[in-house]
Amino acid sequence: MRLLGYTRISTAAQDAQLQLDALLSIGVQKRDVFDDVTSGSKAAATRPGMQRLLEYAVAGDTVVVWRIDRLGRSLIDVLNTVNQLRDAGIHVRSVSDGIDPATSTGRLMLNMLATLAEYERELIVERVNAGIAAARSAGTTFGRPVSDPVVIAQKLEIVASARKAGSTAHAAAKLVGWSRATLYRHATTQENNGPHEDSSDFGTA
């Protein structure tokens, strides 16, 4: 079994040494540490360092992080990453949080994480539904093609909000009555025509 480390900082001006020292202190070899310098707004699976780690790790390995939040931009993203690793037979350990699959307490912490992530999902649904209701009261029509640029902008805003909260592109598009292809078409058109949401808000997942 190998210990594989992962560190993440948001900007090159920050220092990952604290994270690295914590990993080395429990036996992770420096050559087995993968890192990302990227905004927390990016889903874990889209980060280059995380992608390299997922390609390198095999069943029986343990991925070690300084804190569990290094694995995702939100509780849902963290849990998605943890589940992806566990489905591949890869364990997850967090030095600061006491999450260790080898202990009953560590397994309890993972279960609590799953419960909190589910609660966050419910809050997201409530917020998105409230946004849809507000848009409808303002005259936005859902579920059929609309060419009005104001309506399209309102829908893109709802989709971007859902994506930032952890929804997949498919699920976020469905909220406003679009397919994922329709979402990308409108997002690209808006990006080419002027002021727009950052296209990374809509993602590719």
Q: Is 9 in a helix, a strand, or coil?
A: strand
Q: Decide: helix, strand or coil at residue 201.
A: helix
Q: In whole angstroms, give the CA distance from residue 69 to residue 78.
A: 7
* Residue partners of 17: CB distance under 8 A and separation at least 6: none
Contact present, 62 and 6 (Cβ < 8 Å): no
Q: How far apart are CA 78 and CA 72, in angstroms?
A: 4
For the annotated catalytic residues, the residue numbers are 10
